[in-house]
Structure formats: structure tokens, C-alpha cells
Amino acid sequence: MKTSVYNDKGLDKYLPVISKRHSLYEKKIAELTDGHKWDLSDSANAYLFYGLHKYPDKWVFREWAPHADEIFLIGDFNNWQPQADYALIPTYNGNWEIELALSALQHGMLYKLWVKWSDGAGERIPAYSRRVVQDEVSKIFSAQVWDTSNYEWKHTQPKQPSSPLIYETHIGMAGEKEGVSTYNEFRKNILPYIASMGYNTIQMMAIQEHPYYGSFGYQVANFFAPSSRFGTPEELKELIDTAHKYKISVVLDIVHSHSVRNETDGLSRFDGSFDLYFHEGERGMHPVWNSRLFNYGKNEVVSFLLSNCKYWLDEFKFDGFRFDGVTSMMYYDHGIGKNFTDYSLYYDGTQDEDAITYLTLANKLIHEVNPNAFTIAEDVSGMPGLASSIANMGIGFDYRMAMGISDYWIKLLKEKTDEEWHVGDMFYELTNKRKEEKTISYVESHDQAMVGDKTVIFRLIDSQMYTDMNVYQRNLNVDRGLSLHKMIRLVTLATAGNGYLTFMGNEFGHPEWIDFPREGNDWSYQYARRQWSLLKDQNLRYRFLAEFEKEMLRVVKKYRIFSQKPFVIVQSTVDQVLIFKRNNLVFVFNFNPTKSFTDYGFEIDKGKYKIVLDSDNTQFDGFNRIDDNYEYSTQLINKKNLLKLYIPARSAFVLHKTS
């Protein structure tokens, strides 16, 4: 019997296109490895060739700039003037090189390139710079000579988690102070908290150097430079090393979908040409992001990006990547304003097959460099095969973000009253995933926390977050908000395909949006931080949400719920009761805002059951309407094993079959 591609008969008619794309990948990998004479990872060593390198007897600097007429190193060492002694020599294939005595450069010196072309000249930061810093007064960025001994790694990298429980982080806004937090502060203050909560993966945003802090790190200029705003490369390595001590994997939120359009501190018009790394004309500019778009059809660009992946794996021991903007990469129209309602929209010729080839190569390389690494795709289009294996003609990501789930919760909270919540639709939306792919579910990421949007807790409680979150008095709206916050997160985690994500602070209902310093807010850091003191304040109710998050993570790990798919038992739209089984746990949700149910019966496996998690427990600021120590037994009624429960309004609990 013939097997359908990706086990989906609906894709059979598109098999020729899928096969063609896979053949483009096979052709490109053969080209890059000279007919498979070496591994792909051996073709991704550009970072070891280009840039500034120190040898026992000299410094060597190399750059690729085929359209340049002259290139000079300028910096602290020659008063920032182009001089013959610092002129690069053209070698081959557009490469330039200079050798300098060891005494010519010292640790900490600033430098750039002065590049001359046929009709102009300009300062440029080398494309492979590993250290870029900004002058505090002039705000100008420069490359920096970084001559330090290699960091000595102390801890082995953890095994890939079978089910990633991801804490999405931003180093700079991780502290409570109104300013930029550091790698060291994160390592000392935030990392122990993440470990204590039970997350097994950290996703780091804004690591690649970016000129504008408010871009959240998505307007990258210097792809090989860890952001110096937060500290030194060694301090980032120590952070990652310490995470590994806690058996926590660290994933880099890598940006290969576009680059900042800046010329003096980015890659745009690097050697006077507009198409060195990017497409020419309109195709080379993103219509919404106002940034430059890579030409994935050029081998030099592919080499640059693949080398970038290998660099972060080898030099910093990241355990994988979350690829940003994958939808934008895969479609000529970047998926803007497009509803992907038909399979034809994935195979109609409007896809950038060079980009798809690059993404497949990147996944091949990453797993070749570190077979234990894992990759996550951010794609809103639902491209089939994105998280299918390359051997099965897929693009090769290990996971895709289940991005429709956060959209579902926002739509529900904005458009429906509590009485209109349809648990059948809810279960469908939370479990509607491609069967052959692994997915990461989340209620909200950093996107929902940005200024102009609202987090779930803010949609639930709004301004009463500021006045009624104390433990000394009850408020009906706050009680509702906290109950639903716990239930929404639990049902999302319990129905997740293969993993779960939350953005830093959202687990305890951080009360404010994110707004980076900008002219419109007088360059304030007030909303570019996390107020951890709210979590620690015993007079406030935030701590109960964090405690519930911690306990639900403990439960899903202990009982290994991701080893099986959720199986629905009850989805009563009238009662607003949702009950489903997963592995050896039974999840019970009553979204009814006013009605509790006594002796609510449903058929289940014969045995005894005990509650292992209860959102209504006073430990989580609930009302303790259930005896969590009671052991429930099935009853044989009309030849059916029924379990009868008391299910309080607006609550959820989890049962474990004990016998």
C-alpha cells in the first residue's frame, strides 16, 4: 500500500513539487561538499577563516568584499586614518587579507574597515566581528579586539529534553532595575529561579548584536557578536555553562530571516554594492520590517549563515535554535495578510525555494555538528513538512511553534463572554496539529506582552492589577482572572503536542506590558524590566500563580503525559465541562462561571483515582472546595465503570489512577 507524503493524502497531488524541493536540497548539499567528499559541517567554517584571528606569530584579518577597490583597517592603532601599512591585499574570489605583527593590536582596541568602491567610500564593521561595542557618548558602534584566553567549560551539555518546557527570556530586561541587566545578573538571580520552577529549556532572545535596543533583538547587524550591552562573551559562556549544570538546555533565538538596513554598522551596501548579501531592489527590502532580505540563492550567503549556526554551537555551546521569521523567508510575499486556507497556497510557485533549501541545509548542519541539538520553527503559515525529517523530504525542524493557540486565546477573551466559551471548539483548537510533526504550545510569548497588546492576565483583570491584588480582600473580578489564568495555562500545557513555552514573568501574571526605551516614552526603562519583587511580596497574590505553574510542570514531568496523545472523554458545551485523559492522568475542567456539578459521572477505566493537582487549592489562592486527599473509586452502573465527581465552577483538577 502506497504511503502518502507526510502521511497526508491531501498532499499527494503536490508530491512533484515536494520532490523537486527535496532534489534542490540534495543538489545544493552535493555542491557544497564537492559531491559528498566531506561533511556539510566541514563547509561551514567561514567564521574560522574570515574576521580577525590571532596566531602565535601574527594577526590575520580577512574579509569578503568583491566590489571594493580598496580596504583599510582603521582604529585606535592608527588614529582612525586609512594608512598604507593597514591596507588589505586582494587575494581571490573577492577576498581581502592583511597580516599584522602581534604588537600592532592590543586587547580592547576599537577598529573598523574603511572600504572604497568606484563611486564612494565608507566605514564598515567587519561581517564576522565577534565583539562589537557602542560608545556611550557618540552612540557609534565599532568592532573591538578581543584577545582573551579560551573559556574553560565545566559542565557537559544536557541531553535533549524529550519534551521541552521553555522559558523565553531577554537578558537586558530580566532585572528589576530601570536599566539593562547583564549576563552575570541573569546567571546569579534568574537562572536559579528558572531551575526551581521546573523548566528544562531557556530560549534566549536578542543575543546577536543589534543597534536598536527596542527592536527586541530582531534587527541584527552583527551576526557573530554576542550583544555587548549585557557583558562579555566569556560571561555569556559562563551563563550557558551554569544552565548546563542545572541540566537546562539553552536555545538561541536566531535571526536569519533578515538584517538591519544600517550601512555603517550592518551588512547593507557593505562593499558599495546593494546585493552582496541581499537581493537587489524591492525584493531586497522587507515591506513591513524595513530591513534587508538575504539572497539564499548565493553560495557565499549560505556559507555565511551556515557558518553562523556552527559558530554559536561550537563557540558558545548553545543546544539548539529557535528560527525567527520562517514564514517571511519561505514566501515571496512573506505571508503578509495571507490566510493559508488551502494546500495549494504552499505549492503555487510563490514560495522562495532557495530559502526553503537553506532552512533544510541549516537543520542538516545543526544536527551534524551536535546530534543532540534541536531546532524550533516560528511559522504562522502551517507549511506541511516543516517539522518533518529530511529523510522524509521534510525541512527538518524538530518542532514548530503552535502559533494559532495564542491567537485563539486572545480571540476568545476579546470576543466571547464566559458563558459563551465552547469547550468543544477549545479542545479542537488546542489539539489541531499535524500528526507527523512535533509542536510547542503556548498561551502567550513575548509578542503578546509588547506595548499595544495585552497579556492574558491584563485582559482578565485590567487596571485592577494595580489596586486589588492584595491578599487581604477578595475581589470578584480578580478571583475570576486568577482562576481562568490557571485554567488556561493548564489546559494549554495538558493538550500540548510535545512541549510548552512561557515568556519571562507571564507565569506569575506580570502586570505590565513591555515598552523599550524610545523617544515616545522619554527613553525610559520603566517598562523594559521584570518586577520580581511582586512575586516575592507575601502581601500580594502573584506568588500563587507562580506556585501553580511550578506544580503543573512538576506533574506533567512526573507522569510523562507527552508520551501519549490526549483522549477526550467529556466535552459538554451545555455544562462547559471538558474532561480528557492523557497517559495515566485525567484532566477535569469546568469553565462554567456560575454552576458547580455534584456527582458528575463519566465512563473511565476501572480503578481508584486521587487528585494530584487542583487549581482551587488554597495553596494556589483557591477556595478549597474539594478534598484533595479523597480517593475516588469507579462505580459499576449499567455495566459501565463510572467515576462521579464534584466539579466546582471555574476550576480544574487532575486525577491520577492509583490502582
Q: In this structure, what CATH number is given to the domain that contains residue 608? A: 2.60.40.1180
Indicate the residue among 84, 117, 144 that finishes a domain.
Answer: 144
- Long-range contacts for 353-358 (Cβ within 8 Å, ≥24 apart)? 353/20, 353/21, 353/24, 354/295, 354/296, 354/297, 355/296, 355/329, 355/330, 356/21, 356/24, 356/25, 356/330, 356/395, 357/21, 357/24, 357/25, 357/28, 357/296, 358/256, 358/296, 358/302, 358/305, 358/329
In a domain, 446, yes or no: no
**End-to-end Cα separation, the chain, in angstroms:** 41
pLDDT for the residue 513: 83
How far is Cα 221 from Cα 211, in angstroms, rounded to an integer?
A: 7
In a domain, 443, yes or no: no
Contact 169/203 with Cβ under 8 angstroms? yes
C-alpha torsion 237→239→241→244, nearest 10: -140
Reported confidence tier of residue 3, pLDDT bands at 50, 70, 90: low
For the residues 539-565, what does the mean pLDDT come to? 97
How far is Cα 160 from Cα 15, in angstroms, rounded to an integer?
A: 32
For the residues 113-139, what does the mean pLDDT come to? 97
Indicate the residue among 115, 144, 173 that finishes a domain.
Answer: 144
In a domain, 18, yes or no: no
Query: Which CATH number belongs to the domain containing residue 134 in this structure?
Result: 2.60.40.10
For the residues 256-284, what does the mean pLDDT come to? 96
Report the number of distinct structural domains present in the chain: 2
Residue in 577, 624, 627 with CA at minimum distance from that of residue 601: 577
Q: Summarize pLDDT for 504-529 with one digit per residue, the tens.
A: 999 999 988 889 999 889 999 999 99
In a domain, 519, yes or no: no
Q: Summarize pLDDT for 164-174 with one digit per residue, the tens.
A: 999 999 999 99
Contact 402/433 with Cβ under 8 angstroms? yes
Contact 113/124 with Cβ under 8 angstroms? yes
Percentage of the chain lying above the pLDDT 90 cut: 94
For the residues 474-481, what does the mean pLDDT come to? 96
- Residues spanned by the domain of 88: 46-144
479 class by beta-carbon count within 10 Å (0-12 exposed, 13-18 middle, 19+ buried): middle
Q: Summarize pLDDT for 298-326 with one digit per residue, the tens.
A: 999 999 999 999 999 999 999 999 999 99
Q: Summarize pLDDT for 46-70 with one digit per residue, the tens.
A: 999 999 999 999 999 999 999 999 9
Compute CA distances 529 → 169, 444, 447, whole Å. 11, 17, 15
For the residues 281-295, what does the mean pLDDT come to? 97
- What are the cell numbers at 379? 511559522
Indicate the residue among 106, 126, 144 that finishes a domain.
Answer: 144
pLDDT for the residue 2: 55
Q: Is the pLDDT of residue 451 over 70?
A: no
Do the strands 374-377 and 399-401 form a parallel or antiparallel pair, or are they unpaired?
A: parallel
How far is Cα 209 from Cα 547, in angstroms, rounded to an integer?
A: 35
Helix (H, G, I), strand (E, B) or coil at 350: coil
Residue in 322, 304, 318 with CA at minimum distance from that of residue 370: 318
Average pLDDT, the chain: 96
In a domain, 576, yes or no: yes
- What are the cell numbers at 547? 506556585
Q: Is the pLDDT of residue 634 over 80?
A: yes
> Which of the 8 DSSP states describes residue 388?
S
Residues 6+ apart with CB under 8 A from 491: 426, 430, 578, 587, 589, 652
pLDDT for the residue 452: 65
Q: Is the pLDDT of residue 119 over 70?
A: yes
Residues taking part in catalysis: 324, 378
pLDDT for the residue 1: 42
Angle at 229 between CA 228 and CA 230, to 5 degrees: 85
In a domain, 327, yes or no: no
**Largest Cα–Cα distance of the chain, in whole Å?**
96
How far is Cα 268 from Cα 277, in angstroms, rounded to an integer?
A: 8
